[in-house]
Amino acid sequence: MFALYNFRRGAWIMAEGDTDVSICSQALLLLGANQITSFSDGTAPSSICSVLYPRIKSQTLSMYHWSFTLSKTILGRLATTPTNFYSYAYQLPSDMFLGVPRVVYTSTSTSAPNTTEYEIQGDQLLTNQTTIVVDYQRLVSEQDMPSYFIQLLIYQMAWHLAEPITDQITKSDYWRGVALGTASENMRGGYFRQAINIDGAGQSKTVIADYLLTEVRS
């Protein structure tokens, strides 16, 4: 088991009560369609949302190092010895998003240098270092997402739902522009740019170093 502390939690207004279904329902309302009550309520929109939403959520989380997803933790060393030339194996956090850490350190010191002398194999990190600390993005649930990110998800879902729900490519293009801007902005404009600005407004350059360390305990 491991515990995590993210000092950014509470710094933003959290989107209380929002769920995967409510996010999809709000996107459907933007398209002039009826809301859904669940992903299995028997309607065509609910079936489409059940397929699209998990992918769009993961995609949107991976688009930027959102502050509310960032965590730092000390990895627990496993008793097993790697079969390759590395001496130690460490268990990676089970909630780590994308399967790889952002940065790997060899000390708990805030001034510790990062290292690239490691290998990721499945859910383990292999290395010759006796202490491993990682910065990583964690997969978060809707109740842990701030309101600006929820709004971005709604626009993202409106974009991807527009064509299958309304059968109008122009509506899909419109909501893509609202969500991500234009091609000339490299799809990093629109509300996405605004959300990044809000998210980064309170972050210092050493934001990760300020997270409290929590040790992985087996």
pLDDT of residue 112: 84
pLDDT band at 214 (very low <50, low <70, confident <90, very high): very low
Domain ranges of the chain: 20-66+141-200, 70-139
Residues recorded for the chain: 218
State how far the Cα of 124 lies from the Cα of 162, in Å rounded to an integer: 40
Residues 106-162: pLDDT tens digits? 998 878 889 999 999 999 999 999 999 999 999 999 999 999 999 999 999 999 999
Model confidence at 183, pLDDT cuts 50, 70, 90, reads confident
Q: Read off the pTM.
A: 0.80
Q: What share of the chain is helix, strand, coil (3-state, %, to 5)?
A: 40, 15, 45
Work out the pLDDT band at 202, boundaries 50, 70, 90. Answer: low
Which of 148, 130, 121, 171 is CA-nearest to residue 8? 148
